Amino acid sequence: MSKPWVGWLAFAVLAATVAVSSCQVLSARSVAPEAPLAGAEQGR
């Protein structure tokens, strides 16, 4: 690897990719309970 900042930049991309992928699963769980409520309102 020629320049250290390229490595750090690539690591930042990798860390962001892994972090976003693993966190979005959790965040989806926290908003999931609202879905039935929205459906219930539509049915009313």
Partner 1 sequence: MSGRRFGGAYSPGAKPGAKAGAARPVAPQSRFSGAPASRVDIRARLMFVLPAPLMVNAILAIIGGNVVETALSLLSFALLMTGAWLLSEGQKAAQAYEARSVARRPAIPRKIIAAVLAGAGVAAAQFAGPTGGLFGAIGFALLATGSHIVAFGIDPLANKGIDLNEAELARVADAIDGAEETLREIGAMADGIRDREISERLASLSDEVRALLRRIEADPRDLTRARRYLSVHLVGAHEATRKYAESHAALDDPTLREDYLTLLSELEDSFMRGRDKMLADDKVDLEVEIEVLRDRLGQEGAADRR
The residue written with tokens 């690539």 in the block is 10
**Does 2 contact partner 1 by CB under 8 A?**
no
**Does 37 contact partner 1 by CB under 8 A?**
no
Report the distance separating Cα 35 and Cα 25, nearest Å: 16
**Does 22 contact partner 1 by CB under 8 A?**
yes
| Whole-Å CA distances, 41 to 1, 16, 28 | 57, 37, 21
**Does 1 contact partner 1 by CB under 8 A?**
yes
Site of interaction with partner 1 (CB under 8 A): 1, 6-8, 10-11, 13-15, 17-19, 21-26, 28-29
